[in-house]
Structure 1
């Protein structure tokens, strides 16, 4: 029963749950900071030079495989999480992920060779896949509608904090003159997972999952605890409980839901939107800036304090995510995604142009014996590369970074939400895997043209969002269903309301949360100003 739980504040609930996202951030920056230090490059060296301080490290394609093993495991974890969360619940699935992460950290920190390192990172990835898929679902099913974007987007903020914190830990450990330079950071990654596991004990289960399991009393208690401030008759509690009951009653006719349900004509549109939201977030090229920023800055001639200079982008990432958390529910999902795609394309095209016009081939050994840094640029042009890289990170952090996690859980009905978000998140990780493996040899073989590829993807995603992505901000999750099932004149069969005609529903839901609407009569309470219900076209 909910009475056992001590936490009903949604801010505290989100703060604990998003540690699952922070685990992914820890992994990104620990690898980014470590791949260029000599302790790592000598221990896992595959090149001809074995003298300490001159090692070239793993081959480019092997380093790509090491990096990609984590998202490879995440793809498996994300797919499995749909079944796991439907069986055990959102909360318990996240705790299972935390245990798996600790096992992976032990393997990685104790790695004796490259295969053991890859296995450990794969195990870590399974956890990240589970948590990255189910934390947004868990929070979206608990958060109030008008602030859902803020709380779900907090996962991205946790990722940025994880990146920044672990990067500086790795930077400090880089001065240790032994294998502890990389073993210590990899071992310390287990700490947030331990906090996540024990913290989740004091959090409530998702009310929608409880309703799906016919645990209505607990469902009502959770809604009262989180939204009603102890008042079971609060308008928002009554409205959400009524909507959940209506949806569950309808979905009783669909007892066993499989992944094939997501491919049916009435679901395929929102399935493709959710999946491509995660795919596009990877094809922005952000992984180039996260995993391999040290390669980019090496090409730009930052020989001194390379790790410290690279870390500035992580500070930008943390800071620029904050405006999105505060205002994303006012901005809406569509404008945020469109503006982000346009800005990122601009900076990527600029980087490609600078490298093409002012850069030169660095030779087969690259810059400073870093083969992946195959292109050299100096002078004012190098400052342009650094500036565009920072601007790119800032543009991603305030747009696609948080919204790519916020948007998918909002698209689906309750009966398929767990599996649908798992499928969408798995697409994120399979592309993360591909790009993690692709980028090091791509820098060697096609050099600056890597930026052109990602810039073209940003243009494509702008067009896709404009025509296919409906606005979901501010709507109760059950209300979003009307967008896709709308059969009124002007709607598109199996698509519903055209994406460019949808609007935010925040006015209605804000008034509902403030008790300005009588949920029994469907009218405004006395004294409330009149506003049109913007959830209706």
Structure 2
């Protein structure tokens, strides 16, 4: 007899391994690109003072950008894969692809092979990052949805932290093992690697059992389970009366509003500058005068901050809602970006040819102003602490909540693809930006943070504390004002616990009682 796991937290723990894979890539590249073993093997810039210069900044940008480039493609095709195979098999397919890409990367003997392997890894991350949030969002109760989908971001932070220290430890190895080992080990978690989709394919009995297993410990007559099942049934029947889902439909009529909100949630999460700070943190701290192991250790502290501060979101995100964390996070990040720009402009100078500690060909140097350098490091840590409980988890939580079942898989795929195409662009252009506009790079991201604050306030409605079907009703209500929407956490908790009934549940009971010949209003068996 096969044992079926129904605990939403166990299901989430396994599913979000896909997020950890993304974190592995960020951390391994961040730690490895500063090592002499990596620079000498892929050297393109010659040797000065006995040290290899590594790939040129544009080549390094291309190497880094290969993964998000593949993720863009993977996210787009994930919509077709999940509609064809279901959420779970789509996630398993992504895990297999990751193992293939990691094998190619860790055995690389040329920059071309490294780029191809990272692109294949990107295909995997694109599929997983698009469909894991959909999978867990559809399984979770409304009062826990933010918590379990936000676990995707927490898994990313753990992946970053674990792999950074593995890569840091490997940097003490001699020869190519210093970078081959961490890129080989990152394939291991992938080896271990939903009810609304079942309902959509007329597998109602299975859908009912899954809802009962996850929400009510197997009690198929629990009020909330029956409410959810009825709402899903109504939504599926309504959607079947309309045309089949297509990507084009996301950009038509009233759906384009939701599509723009979902896409910009992911786009703005990149334009905060967070992943740039993670991927090229050794560049940033090199500008602040840190070198060698001091640079790597200081860089690792921000990864610890990222893990710890994300816990706050997992605990309180469903009470905070979605709008408030986004608004607070972008405002704080704007302040810290502008502060970094001001410190660097006031106390820094152009670095000599070869950069600081050979971190970049040309960059900015704060080594003569130690207090200012500490200020940059402090602002960077505060920036990470602001992103971790706000835009980090909410950027994954929000998009799956916006769309109806019929379009959800493809819609989240498009939103996630938006994330990856901007990740690709930033990965490629940030190294040259540090060379050419230096400290003004921080100004660019500070302005982005200001614009996203205004955008969120006027255009992003609150979805926390609502069932996925209730969110659909909110978007189809004429005259909806995002800034007037609110969190309904307590009400939905009472509904889940059976203390109150929704109007749909009452209607469903009356209809069921009439069909069975029972007195109106009695509980169906």
TM-score (normalizing by structure 2): 0.94
Matches within 5 A, 1:122-271: 122-196=119-193, 206-271=194-259
By how many angstroms is 1:67 displaced? 0.2
Contact map agreement 1:71 1:430 (CA 8 A) in 2: yes
Matches within 5 A, 1:55-454: 55-196=52-193, 206-303=194-291, 304-372=293-361, 374-377=363-366, 378-454=369-445
Query: For 2:358, what is the secondary structure of its paired residue?
Result: coil
By how many angstroms is 1:365 displaced? 1.6
CA distance in 2, matches of 1:331, 1:509: 14
Residue of structure 1 equivalent to 2:506? 521
Residue of structure 1 equivalent to 2:513? none
Contact map agreement 1:146 1:509 (CA 8 A) in 2: yes
Contact map agreement 2:337 2:443 (CA 8 A) in 1: yes
Contact map agreement 1:372 1:443 (CA 8 A) in 2: no
Q: Which is further off, 283-292 or 380-389? A: 283-292
Within the alignment, does 1:43 sit opposite 2:28 as a pair?
no
CA distance in 1, matches of 2:474, 2:211: 25
CA distance in 1, matches of 2:242, 2:190: 36
CA distance in 1, matches of 2:370, 2:106: 40
Query: For 2:192, what is the secondary structure of its paired residue?
Result: helix
CA distance in 2, matches of 1:179, 1:240: 54
By how many angstroms is 1:363 displaced? 2.2
CA distance in 1, matches of 2:148, 2:275: 24
By how many angstroms is 1:122 displaced? 0.1
CA distance in 1, matches of 2:359, 2:342: 23
By how many angstroms is 1:368 displaced? 1.8
Instruction: Spell out, residue by residue over 1:427-446, the C-alpha distance to the aligned partner (whole angstroms, 9 max, x if none).
Output: 00000000000100110111
Residue of structure 2 equivalent to 1:484? 475
Residue of structure 2 equivalent to 1:526? none
By how many angstroms is 1:372 displaced? 4.8
Within the alignment, does 1:16 sit opposite 2:5 as a pair?
no
By how many angstroms is 1:4 displaced? 3.9
CA distance in 2, matches of 1:226, 1:287: 34
By how many angstroms is 1:364 displaced? 2.5
Contact map agreement 2:282 2:359 (CA 8 A) in 1: no
Change (3 A) 1:93 1:513: same
Contact map agreement 1:296 1:373 (CA 8 A) in 2: no
Contact map agreement 1:69 1:433 (CA 8 A) in 2: yes
Within the alignment, does 1:473 sit opposite 2:470 as a pair?
no
Q: Which is further off, 360-369 or 3-12? A: 3-12
CA distance in 1, matches of 2:14, 2:422: 28
Query: For 1:145, what is the secondary structure of its paired residue?
Result: coil
Instruction: Spell out, residue by residue over 1:438-489, the C-alpha distance to the aligned partner (whole angstroms, 9 max, x if none).
Output: 10011011100000000000000000000000000010000001221102xx
Moved over 6 A (4+): none
Contact map agreement 2:31 2:282 (CA 8 A) in 1: yes
Contact map agreement 1:295 1:372 (CA 8 A) in 2: no
CA distance in 2, matches of 1:84, 1:457: 34
Instruction: Spell out, residue by residue over 1:180-218, the C-alpha distance to the aligned partner (whole angstroms, 9 max, x if none).
Output: 00000000000110112xxxxxxxxx1000011111111
CA distance in 1, matches of 2:263, 2:3: 34
CA distance in 1, matches of 2:501, 2:360: 67
Contact map agreement 1:42 1:50 (CA 8 A) in 2: no
Residue of structure 2 equivalent to 1:498? 481
Aligned residues: 504
CA distance in 1, matches of 2:222, 2:188: 39
CA distance in 2, matches of 1:177, 1:462: 47
CA distance in 2, matches of 1:216, 1:400: 36
Residue of structure 2 equivalent to 1:462? 453
Residue of structure 1 equivalent to 2:495? 512
Instruction: Spell out, residue by residue over 1:49-94, the C-alpha distance to the aligned partner (whole angstroms, 9 max, x if none).
Output: 289x510000000000000000000000000000100000000000
Query: For 1:504, what is the secondary structure of its paired residue?
Result: coil
Q: Structure 1 regions of 5+ residues with no counterpart? A: 197-205, 492-496, 524-537
CA distance in 1, matches of 2:474, 2:157: 32
Query: For 1:190, what is the secondary structure of its paired residue?
Result: coil
Query: For 1:486, what is the secondary structure of its paired residue?
Result: coil
By how many angstroms is 1:309 displaced? 1.2
By how many angstroms is 1:253 displaced? 1.5
CA distance in 1, matches of 2:507, 2:106: 59
CA distance in 1, matches of 2:146, 2:420: 22
Contact map agreement 2:352 2:362 (CA 8 A) in 1: no
